[in-house]
Amino acid sequence: MRLFTRIVELGAFTRAADDLKLPAATATHAIRQLEARLGVRLLHRTTRKVTPTSDGEAYYQRCLRILADVDETENAFGHGGAAPRGKLRVDLSTAGRVFVLPRLHEFFARYPDIELEIGLGDRFVDLVAEGVDCVMRVGALRDSSMVGRRVATLPQVTCASAAYLDRHGTPATLEDLHGHQAVNWYAAASGRMLPFEFLVDGTVRSVPLPGKVSVSEGEAYLACCLGSAGLVQMPRYRVAALLAAGTLREVLPAWPPAALPVTVLYPHQRQLSPRVRVLADWLAEVMAQAGAGEPPPIC
């Protein structure tokens, strides 16, 4: 069943076999035996793609529920009903690298039988196709087919380099933004330029600002700000040390940007996995402390 579901999700025998560390010939033979035992054809095979038949799709959906139940049962009774065990594939955002990785020893002390395979970055992850159990993302969600659990919010700040503000002046009101430049952020998936946003009497007010440079990656965004290219809006934890040193200065603190949501996402068929559940609970604990905006020391 695990092999069959991975073939459906990855669309290829060889990719599924590689994912499960099986010889390709073994995978092919196993599916033939499965189809023979069930007496139905489960997969359409072409030279380019493997897709489920109507019977295969129905069998796939039942397999997902059965496998989730198997995982739940084995974790409940294995080791005398002790803590969950097994491997989790996780993808973390930049916030995860800053706040989560330095505290992994705490997670392993609590759940010594869980192994983590961690990817890092803010790229879009196809959890099903890539076999990823869950991801942690900051900001608005794009994939509504996933189950999401908000674990924290991160305060943001509007700021610019000291050199930029010395040259162009420091805006005291939103109207003073006229004539200022921004380092603009565009969504890589859609190409849409995102305006600056400010909380005014509890309401979000969007303010498009002109800029000579636009980026879609966090490190480039900060680098352009440090290079005096204009104003930026970033999570406070990313620039706390630079603000304290005076390299960057906060502007318009009376009208801060809205805080960014931090969400753990996982495919709906894996929502009952004890491993995913305890990891999400632990991430919520860690990121709740991150809400203060101060990252832990990285040793």
pLDDT of residue 275: 82
Q: Is residue 136 part of a domain?
A: yes
pLDDT at 61 over 70: yes
Q: Is residue 115 part of a domain?
A: yes
**Do 147 and 276 reside in the same domain of the chain?**
yes
Q: pTM of whole model > 0.75? A: no
**Do 271 and 246 reside in the same domain of the chain?**
no
pLDDT of residue 221: 94
**Do 11 and 137 reside in the same domain of the chain?**
no
CATH for 276: 3.40.190.10
**Do 175 and 232 reside in the same domain of the chain?**
yes
Q: Is residue 296 part of a domain?
A: no
Separation of alpha carbons 102 and 297, rounded Å: 8
Q: Quickly state the pLDDT bin for 65 (edges 50, 70, 90).
A: confident
Q: What percent of the chain has pLDDT over 70?
A: 85
Q: Which residue has the higher pLDDT, 42 or 132?
A: 42
Q: Is residue 255 part of a domain?
A: no
**If you average pLDDT over each of 88-102, 135-149, 244-258, which comes out highest?**
244-258
Cα–Cα distance list, 83 to 112, 133, 225 (Å): 8, 18, 46
Q: Quickly state the pLDDT bin for 167 (edges 50, 70, 90).
A: very high
Query: Of 46, 64, 48, which Cα lies nearest the Cα of 56?
Result: 64
Q: Is residue 62 part of a domain?
A: yes
How many structural domains are present in the chain? 3
**Do 160 and 245 reside in the same domain of the chain?**
yes
- Domain range for 276 is 83-153+260-290
Q: Is residue 299 part of a domain?
A: no
Average pLDDT over every residue of 78-104: 80
